[in-house]
């Protein structure tokens, strides 16, 4: 048996033993070390994804850990290897896959949503999903690789180039990561965020942050760019006002990258898209190259992952951590430590 955090019903999680199994052909067994709680996990917790998530469901996809054992036919991996997981399983046969876009497979299995996730002491995953981690990278920081891969993919979709002016609307974990990745690409970056705590963190990381409740953001962007407008805006807030701001700050032929999941249709100023020849691009998930770049950025300190970790809790306290995250502004990333009492389960230290 292995201890797992499970979604049972809206606003109800438990920690319970689940049956452990051996890895099959092409699979590996992992001992998760740290698992981050993300916005999608909160949507599940709120019951917003019940049509997709079958309860009881083991959550978690932002993770780091070590290989415990490998199944038949698996080569290149051995017990003790430090890894993270790109939690995507695609069918390789749908139109998206045939066009080379497997990460948005039309029948995608997102591991941790559509199938059991990492918030447990033992986890079986396809070997093809493993991403190797440097031995020098602490595993708590490595749990930030997955959201960093999201940011890498977003910045790539927006085609951010050196010297460009970039506005990130929403300074939560993904917004801050996008800002840091864009800065690493050579862009000048501004972050728009209501939370004083998050603005302070952005500034401590060397970013300039504005409070949209206190300042006229488009006017500030005009001053910053000599009235040219921003080259790129990222909408990461998920709010209607965030969409308006992201559109309003863009200059001629600016690019708006939509990152946040908007649960309902939004009004968009299409006249401004026409008048300034703007481009809207969606960004969803990542591919292996995004993950590999994310590993490098976290490992070399370009992404100060440790600064984004607000708290680490043991597996048994994960349900309370979900409630803490609902407060939003004063918390960035909470990690669940899955190593507690692991030796009692199967005798493998991590």
pLDDT digits (tens, 9 = 90+) for 226-281: 999 999 999 999 999 999 999 999 999 999 999 999 989 999 999 999 999 999 99
Higher pLDDT, 19 or 186: 186
Share the mean pLDDT of the chain. 95
18 cis-preceded (ω within 30 degrees of 0): no
DSSP reduced 3-state for 190: strand
68-125: per-residue pLDDT in tens?
999 999 999 999 999 999 999 999 999 999 999 999 999 999 999 999 999 999 999 9
Q: What is the DSSP letter of 287?
A: -
Is 197 assigned a catalytic role?
A: no
Residue 345, pLDDT > 80, answer: no
Give residues with Cβ within 8 angstroms of 118, minimum separation 6.
30, 32, 35, 58, 60, 61, 62, 63, 65, 85, 87, 112, 338
Question: DSSP assignment of 16-29, as one string?
Answer: EEE------TTEEE
Q: With bands split at pLDDT 50, 70 and 90, how would you rate the model's confidence at 200? A: very high
pLDDT of residue 21 exceeding 80, the answer is yes
**Which of 15, 43, 302, 340 is the catalytic position?**
43
Residue 321 has a pLDDT of 94
Mean pLDDT of 290-315: 97
Q: How much is the pLDDT for 330?
A: 84
Confidence of residue 329 (pLDDT cuts 50, 70, 90): low
| CB of 109 closer than 8 Å to CB of 69 | no
> Is beta strand 309-314 parallel, antiparallel or unpaired with respect to 333-337?
parallel
pLDDT above 80 for 297 = yes
| Tokens of residue 257, six digits | 């990258």
User: HSE of 83 in the Cβ direction (CA atoms, 13 Å)?
Assistant: 28
Q: Is the Cα dihedral 223, 228, 233, 238 positive or negative?
A: positive
Two tokens, residue 15: 């920690």
Question: Residue 198: which of 189, 185, 211, 187 has the closest Cα?
Answer: 211
Residue 350 has pLDDT above 70, yes or no: no
Residue 177 confidence (pLDDT): 98
pLDDT of residue 340: 72
For residues 331-343, give the mean pLDDT: 83
Note the pLDDT tens digit of each residue in 73-87. Answer: 999 999 999 999 999
pLDDT score, position 341: 56
Structure confidence at residue 58 (pLDDT) = 97
Q: What pLDDT, on the 0 to 100 scale, is given for residue 348?
A: 33
40 is catalytic: yes
Higher pLDDT, 28 or 19: 28
Identify the active-site residue in 2, 15, 40, 148: 40
User: What's the pLDDT at 347?
Assistant: 33
- What pLDDT score was predicted for residue 46? 94
CA distance 161 to 9: 44
Are the C-beta atoms of residues 149 and 290 closer than 8 Å to each other? yes
The stretch 29-41 carries a mean pLDDT of: 97
Instruction: Round to whole Å and give the CA distance between 170 and 127.
Output: 35
* pLDDT band (50, 70, 90) for residue 324: confident
pLDDT given for residue 327 in this prediction? 73
């Amino acid at each position: 048996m292995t201890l797992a955090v499970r979604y049972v019903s809206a606003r109800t999680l438990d920690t319970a033993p689940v049956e452990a199994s051996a890895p099959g052909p092409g699979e590996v067994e992992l001992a998760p070390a740290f698992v981050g709680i993300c916005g999608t996990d909160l949507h599940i917790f709120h019951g917003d994804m019940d049509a997709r998530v079958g309860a009881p469901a083991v959550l978690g996809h932002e993770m780091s850990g070590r290989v415990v054992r490998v199944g038949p036919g698996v080569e290149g991996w051995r017990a003790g290897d430090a890894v993270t997981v790109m939690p995507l399983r695609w069918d390789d046969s749908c139109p998206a896959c045939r066009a080379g876009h497997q990460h948005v497979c039309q029948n995608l299995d997102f591991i941790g949503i559509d199938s059991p996730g990492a918030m447990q002491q033992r986890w079986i995953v396809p070997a093809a999903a493993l991403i190797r981690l440097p031995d020098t990278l602490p595993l708590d920081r490595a749990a930030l690789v997955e959201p960093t891969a999201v940011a890498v993919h977003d910045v790539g979709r927006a085609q951010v180039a050196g010297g460009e002016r970039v506005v990130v609307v929403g300074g939560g974990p993904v917004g801050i990561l996008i800002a840091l990745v864009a800065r690493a690409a050579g862009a000048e970056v501004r972050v728009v965020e209501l939370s004083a705590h998050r603005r302070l963190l952005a500034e401590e990381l060397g970013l300039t942050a504005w409070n949209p409740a206190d300042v006229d953001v488009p006017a500030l962007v005009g001053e910053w760019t000599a009235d040219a407008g921003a080259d790129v805006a990222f909408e990461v807030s998920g709010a209607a006002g965030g969409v308006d701001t992201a559109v309003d700050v863009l200059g001629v032929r600016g690019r708006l990258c939509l990152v946040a999941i908007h649960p309902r249709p939004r009004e968009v100023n299409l006249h401004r898209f026409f008048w300034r020849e703007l481009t809207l691009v969606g960004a969803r998930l990542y591919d292996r190259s995004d993950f590999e770049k994310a590993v490098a950025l976290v490992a070399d300190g370009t992404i100060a992952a440790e600064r984004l970790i607000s708290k680490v809790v043991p597996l048994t306290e994960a349900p309370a951590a979900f409630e803490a995250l609902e407060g939003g502004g004063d918390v960035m990333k909470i990690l669940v430590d899955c190593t507690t009492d692991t030796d009692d389960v199967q005798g493998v230290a991590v």
